[in-house]
Amino acid sequence: MSQLPDRLVIASRGSKLALRQAHTVADLVTARHPDLHVEIREVSTKGDRDSRPFTEITGKGLFTSEVEREVAEGRADVAVHSAKDLTAELAPGCTIVGVPERVAPHDVVVGGGSGSGMDRLGSLSSGATVGTSSMRRRALLLELRSDLKVVEFRGNIDTRLEKVARGDVAAAILAAAGIDRLGRDDVDVGPLDPERWVPAPAQGALAVEALEERDDLRRLFGALDDAGARAQVEAERAFAARLEGGCSIPLGCLAFPGPAGLIVTGYLGHPDGFQSIRDRISGGMSEAASLGRELAEAILSSGGDELLEEVRALDAPEVAEP
């Protein structure tokens, strides 16, 4: 049996949220192994450096590729990611060695009055501006309210919250997990029902990535693995991989506990919100990835293949600046 390391280098994006997530993982490790020396290595990513709308930036892994490279080239032992940012294929020779307990996967509405997220969006006046940088959120919003104006909303969470507070937009849609992890208890949010407003695959989960050959890291992070969170992430990532979902494809997937083990809900939409397909499937946790793929196949056979072809043929839709 391989000996556990006495020093650990964690690669992370340099954003405030990413570093908070890296420190969360470091704390989980050192709580079990107090003598382990942990260093966090900050990495600048393409997504951080390029301020254009995501749909205009070519390539995959906007927030993960450079971080993965630190592991693949030996400058870091592991990389900590927001699991939703990972591409379907990891860096060559790498694998996910740990998925800690997941936090809330749903989206929330900030601004737009009070009440639930749907109440807030429903109360907005026609033509009101709503900020988001997500094609999935754009599609879901326009499906609900085609009369609203979607504006491109880049920047870290604090910056986005400040834009809402000063009235740059009437409301914004964000992930609950990011707000919670940054401890922003001062923010009044309206939750969106994740079974109707389907989250991004693996939203709210963290993924620890390492070289497949590192049995010591498999042991170290395997002890921190949350079986339920891992199964959910495997199902949701398999769904997205089968649909070849990138940031320009409006899709969502959520796996949650059910009588048989997991219930998995999937969503595929059109960027302009006029067409969408939803379906769900259930099964055991041990077949999580198969459930995700099977759900994707069901959506494809229900017209999803034609919808995907149409979406991929579109030029990136225009998103006004806030």
- For the chain, which domains are there? 1-100+205-225 (3.40.190.10), 107-193 (3.40.190.10), 227-313 (3.30.160.40)
- Report, as an integer, the average pLDDT of 83-92: 91
Does the structure show a pLDDT above 90 at 5? Answer: no
Does the structure show a pLDDT above 90 at 96? Answer: yes
- Report, as an integer, the average pLDDT of 147-162: 91
Hunting for tokens 């969360």 — which residue is that? 24
Q: C-alpha distances in angstroms, 105 versus 112, 176, 200?
A: 21, 7, 8
- Report, as an integer, the average pLDDT of 149-161: 90
Q: Cα separation of 271 and 2, whole Å?
A: 49
Q: Which of 29, 26, 36 is nearest to 5 (CA)?
A: 36
Task: Tally Cβ neighbours within 10 Å of residue 146.
Answer: 11
pLDDT of residue 201: 97
Higher pLDDT, 57 or 236: 236
What contacts 78, CB < 8 A, 6 or more positions away?
8, 9, 10, 11, 71, 97, 98, 208, 209, 210, 217, 221
Parallel/antiparallel/unpaired status of strands 107-111 and 171-175: antiparallel
* pLDDT single digits (tens) 259-284: 989 999 999 999 999 999 999 999 99
The DSSP-derived string for 98-147 is E--------EEEEESSSSSHHHHHHHSPTT-EEE---HHHHHHHHHH-TT
Active site residues: 84-85, 136-137, 154, 160, 247
Higher pLDDT, 61 or 8: 8
Q: Which of 135, 127, 151, 5 is nearest to 78 (CA)?
A: 5
Q: Cα separation of 166 and 140, whole Å?
A: 25
pLDDT of residue 247: 67
Does the structure show a pLDDT above 70 at 251? Answer: yes
Q: Cα separation of 151 and 171, whole Å?
A: 10
Does the structure show a pLDDT above 70 at 198? Answer: yes
- φ, ψ of residue 210 to 5 degrees: the values are -145, 170
Q: Taken in order 106, 293, 68, 49, is the CA torsion positive or negative?
A: negative
Q: What is the largest CA-CA distance in the chain?
A: 64
**By the 8 A CB rule, do 227 and 285 touch?**
yes
Helix, strand, coil percent values for the chain (each to nearest 5): 35, 25, 40
Q: Cα separation of 18 and 151, whole Å?
A: 24
319 confidence band (pLDDT: 50, 70, 90): very low
pLDDT of residue 55: 53
Q: How many helices (H) and strands (E) does the chain have?
A: 11, 13
Parallel/antiparallel/unpaired status of strands 206-211 and 78-82: antiparallel
* pLDDT single digits (tens) 11-29: 999 999 999 999 999 999 9
DSSP 320: B
- φ, ψ of residue 190 to 5 degrees: the values are -110, 110
- Report, as an integer, the average pLDDT of 213-225: 95
User: Mean pLDDT in the chain?
Assistant: 91
133 confidence band (pLDDT: 50, 70, 90): confident
Higher pLDDT, 129 or 245: 129
* pLDDT single digits (tens) 35-80: 999 999 999 876 565 455 555 544 456 668 899 999 999 999 999 9
pLDDT of residue 256: 96
